Structure 1
Amino acid sequence: MAPDFFDRTLLQWSGYVMLLAGFQLTLLFQFGFYFRLFFRKKNPQVNRFRPISVLMNIRNEEERIEKLLLQLLQQDYPEFEVVVVDDFSEDATLTIIGVMARKYPRLKFSSLRQETRFSEKLAMNLALKAATYDWVVFVSPETDTLDAHFLQRLSEQASDSADISLNYLNYSARPGLYNRLCRVERFFAFLSSAAYSSAGLSLFYQQSNVLFNKQLYFEVDGFRGKMNAHFAHLELVFNQFVQKKVEASVTSETRLSENASLGKPEFIDLVRKRILLWRDLGVFKKLLLLMDGLSGIFLVAGFGWLLVTEIQNWMVFTWPVLLVWLLHLFMVKTLLNRLNERKIFLSSLMYVFVSPVIGLYHWARIYIHLQRNKWN
């Protein structure tokens, strides 16, 4: 049987070559990056209090801003403030905030007087300049329920040696296919960000629920040169950081959920955002992420080709895929339990195999769009 197996053409070998390349690359990234998250030492539960400025930029949020601000202002934490910048609201948002500011001294607010193409970045810049304390965290106005000890847990999870503390952020669970798809996409975006950042390569796909020293923002001149990048905001700044210690908190204690109506456009925006952020990265990080994505494509493509051409040798080429799937199952199940995100387990098992294809499709669409606009 051995001579027959090895006596084959280059085309016949192609499936095994792709499968082996995908298998080796997948193991390299799983053990080199992702499994590092399991061995992060948990910070001892000490009363580590650092003054924190909670920042928020909002627009037309009269229906829910009061509830969220009350949850923030009633935090059981000794020294904090809430800074809100209104981005040219056309409803009663600014009036509500003004009334609350008279009652709560911890609440500071300002507003932009006109709308511009990059007003959201201007609002964030204004909030950072207005912050009294060095340690800041942005919170989205879509944030769901906050408990009274959120800031305490946020501070305790960040060690004294960390420059940035990345915490889990996702959408609240709601019925619907695209709610599930968006939550799975954000889970894997957080997983990738946490894994790479913990390994010393700053990689961010979110700006909310990230505790950081505001001086880092000013050290890189903030949004300078990136004002017209409408697909992302502070993520563009975070991804510039080099030689900064990023600590990822893989726990539900500092988790935030956002209550949003999700459909196909929102899912596509999340996928496109990952691709566009990849384009903005340095060459080394861009190459690593490309290889990470290609590992899944090679594995699936090689396995599919062999199912068609080599089905009689299924026992030879099935075990690498099975091993990768079992490792992925263990990793996803463990992390979802830690993050208290159990309702997307089955979807996550399938998404890891289709996400490279989805990403490749949208990358091609973005590339074609940019090329067409280049000549217009």
Structure 2
Amino acid sequence: MFLSILIYIIFVFAFIIQLYFYLFVFRKLAYYKSSNASQNLNPVSVVICAKNEEKQLERNLPFFLQQNHPSFEIVIVNDASTDNTSTVLFNFQKQFKNLTIITLSPEQSCGKKNALTNGITASKYDHLLLTDADCTPKSKNWISKMSMNFTSKNDIILGYGAYEYRNGLLNELIRFDTIYIAIQYLSFALCGIPYMGVGRNLAYKKNLFTLNNGFDSHKNVMSGDDDLFISDVAKAENTVIEIEFEAQTISLPKENFSSWFYQKRRHLTTGVKYKTSIKLLLGLFQASLIAFYTSFIYIITVEHFILPIIILFLARTLIQIFTFRACFKKLGERHNFVLFPFYELFILFLNLILVISNLIYIPNSWQKN
């Protein structure tokens, strides 16, 4: 009897916590209206790190070099590539004078943070826009749309980096996971609690990077050039988000589960380094999610008084679907909303496996095909 009452109480508390996150946190993004950005077309340095990315650079670099922006440079850091990356870059440099190439030798190569630091140091302008070699801007106005958000107070712009739509379940899961994470960090930023950005589409001032000694506070962590740096320097008053379609980037998704699994393991290594308050908030959301599903499964399989519980479960699910549907629309994404609970359960289970995997062995390479 005591166990049954306890399970019911856990379910109700988990329901209330989940309701709070959807109605008071994620709803911020669902009904977000962009404030008027400044019309200042600031000079911008776009910094991209590349390691054995010849094919991606051949495909994507023209979209960056041909942006509609009056003053910008593209800084590519060739991080000791062993393929034809150097040849590809030099061929582009013959055509575009605003392309700067930084080449690191194998002795100088020691991770993405080092490569990125070299690129930022070599950049000419104070307004930095960061992305990856496997990314493509969704429009020729990407630089302008992102950089317009810079003001005397706005030092950081958190953008959205999507993954290309393809047929298949793996693609559905990758894109759902990406949007699921984006909804969280963008919503928290709108609540005045910015804690991360993604390196596929992120902007900040060079002066901010310099004053905070770059990545020094987490230089021994392989990942974190985006989320840990933002966690260190972002505040409610210096951070804004930009989710307009023309300001987004799009990337090629991983083509097999093992590559995606490795990528997620690498990203997960940074979570333990977040501020305590952020870990508590994110932990509360995840713990309430686990409690919500596990207690619900127990009640409907063991107990008899299940109708009110089913009603609460459906209420939470409908609120989630409507909130996420609005968020997806804001981000220009499409998905099968009926499958949300199943995708969420899978990601929840996968993250538990990732945590266990990282306790055994931590990934030690920033780039893996």
Matches within 5 A, 1:1-376: 9-44=1-36, 47-115=39-107, 118-144=110-136, 146-156=138-148, 161-204=153-196, 206-243=198-235, 245-273=238-266, 275-311=268-304, 313-343=305-335, 345-367=337-359
Where does structure 2 lack aligned partners over 5 or more consecutive residues? Answer: 363-369
1-structure distance, mates of 2:28, 2:131: 28
Residue range with higher mean Cα deviation, 213-222 or 31-40 = 31-40
Contact kept? 1:185, 1:270, Cα under 8 Å: no
Contact kept? 2:130, 2:199, Cα under 8 Å: yes
| CA deviation string 1:24-62 (max 9, x = no partner) | 111222233211223433233763311111111112222
| CA deviation string 1:146-200 (max 9, x = no partner) | 4322222223456664221111112211233222211111111111111122222
Q: TM-score scaled to structure 1, two decimals?
A: 0.88
How many angstroms does 1:287 deviate by?
1.0
Contact kept? 2:197, 2:230, Cα under 8 Å: no
Q: 2:365 aligns to what?
A: none
- Higher-Rg structure is 1
How many angstroms does 1:334 deviate by?
1.0
How many angstroms does 1:110 deviate by?
1.3
Q: 1:6 aligns to what?
A: none
Shift in CA distance, 319/60, structure 1 to aligned 2, threshold 3 Å: same
Contact kept? 2:80, 2:109, Cα under 8 Å: no
How many angstroms does 1:335 deviate by?
1.4
Contact kept? 1:202, 1:240, Cα under 8 Å: no
| CA deviation string 1:55-111 (max 9, x = no partner) | 111122222323422221211111111111111122222123223223322111111
1:321 partner SS: helix
Contact kept? 1:43, 1:156, Cα under 8 Å: no
2-structure distance, mates of 1:285, 1:170: 24
| CA deviation string 1:218-257 (max 9, x = no partner) | 2221122533322443322112125353222233232211
Two-structure CA RMSD over aligned residues (Å): 2.3
Contact kept? 1:72, 1:146, Cα under 8 Å: no
How many angstroms does 1:117 deviate by?
6.4
Residue range with higher mean Cα deviation, 321-330 or 231-240 = 231-240
2-structure distance, mates of 1:117, 1:81: 23
Where does structure 1 lack aligned partners over 5 or more consecutive residues? Answer: 1-8, 371-376
How many angstroms does 1:116 deviate by?
5.8
Shift in CA distance, 362/246, structure 1 to aligned 2, threshold 3 Å: same
Percent pairwise identity: 21
2:132 partner SS: coil
2-structure distance, mates of 1:170, 1:10: 47
Shift in CA distance, 113/51, structure 1 to aligned 2, threshold 3 Å: same
2-structure distance, mates of 1:335, 1:245: 23
1-structure distance, mates of 2:303, 2:41: 61
Q: TM-score scaled to structure 2, two decimals?
A: 0.89
